Structure 1
Amino acid sequence: MNNTAAETRSVVVEREIPYPPEKIWRALTQPHLIEEWLMKSDFKPVTGHRFDFRAGWGSVDCRVLAVEPNKTLSYTWDAQGLESVVTWTLTPSSAGTRLRMEQSGFRPDQQRAYQGAKIGWQQFLAALEQMLVKVD
């Protein structure tokens, strides 16, 4: 098992967001809000729940791995040959919340997917921050 971990890479994006974890948690777990910044989905914050993200370019098959309200959310993210795990961690901070997103599981031969994720998550998190300004 250790071998595989060493051969895969992760994309990590961290942001300080001036809102409490509860507000950001809603944006990560409510389908109508997820659609505003990420994609359409039938997500439910229930361990074992299978769901997908849908966009113009295709879809992502997912399964919820872990849910700790306002703290941690983890799900599989399988798309176009990529089998990965996305983990969100919310930590209260003096500014509001430190939000950390890690997508792990990129193999060495998935350089294109890895680079795409690095760019994509920056865009998704920027859209998330813009959306948080607008919602209560």
Structure 2
Amino acid sequence: MTDAATGTRTVVVEREFPFPPDRLWRALTQPHLIEAWLMKNDFRPEVGHRFNLRGDWGGVLDCEVLALEPNRTLAYSWNHAHDDPAYALNSVVTFTLTPTETGTHLRMEQAGFRADQRQAFGGAGAGWRQFFENLEQTLAQADR
């Protein structure tokens, strides 16, 4: 998806999870669960809280909680500084949870990829699909 006004692109990944919204919400907002499916972090569910996500590859993402509506919406900046502008990323990740008859529909949008960031854009699409696989496994193993 491309934003006509800015020319930036957005990765969208959607998936149905067989768990209620409150259970999915915990996995999106509790640091030990975020670490299990995404990355090490110092997240707190507070608008304005600045935190880091630390990848196994040694990279650090600088983030800030932008929006928070429990069991419905979570948005945060997802910024990666890099010497090469093609790899520097200033984006926003938004999770939207919608209850369904069988669980929760989760939609993730990562907006802000510039046209010259084809590799990062493609990698994000594949990466989020893998993160969602990890999330489902984490949810299946987490205390109910």
RMSD: 1.2
Q: Hey, what does 2:109 align to over in structure 1?
A: 102
Q: Hey, what does 1:47 align to over in structure 2?
A: 47
The equivalent position to 2:96 in structure 1, one of 89, 92, 107, is: 89
- Give, as a single letter, the amino acid of the residue that structure 2 aligns with 1:132: L
- Give, as a single letter, the amino acid of the residue that structure 2 aligns with 1:18: P
Instruction: Give, in whole Å, the separation in 2 of the partners of 1:63 and 1:2.
Output: 25
SS in 2 for 1:3: coil
Instruction: Give, in whole Å, the separation in 2 of the partners of 1:131 and 1:29.
Output: 13
Q: Find runs of 4+ consecutive structure 1 residues off by over 3 angstroms.
A: none
Instruction: Give, in whole Å, the separation in 1 of the partners of 2:115 and 2:34.
Output: 30
Q: TM-score, normalised by structure 1?
A: 0.95
SS in 1 for 2:63: strand
Write the mapping of 1:1-136 to structure 2, written as runs, cut at 5 A: 3-4=5-6, 7-57=7-57, 58-79=59-80, 80=82, 81-136=88-143
- Give, as a single letter, the amino acid of the residue that structure 2 aligns with 1:3: A
Q: TM-score, normalised by structure 2?
A: 0.90
SS in 2 for 1:122: helix
Instruction: Give, in whole Å, the separation in 1 of the partners of 2:141 and 2:56.
Output: 25
Instruction: Give, in whole Å, the separation in 1 of the partners of 2:125 and 2:103.
Output: 24
- Give 1:110 deviation, angstroms: 0.7
- Give, as a single letter, the amino acid of the residue that structure 2 aligns with 1:27: A
- Give, as a single letter, the amino acid of the residue that structure 1 aligns with 2:131: F
Structure having the higher helix fraction is 1
- 1:14-41 CA-to-partner distances (Å, cap 9, x unmatched) read 1110110000000000000000010000
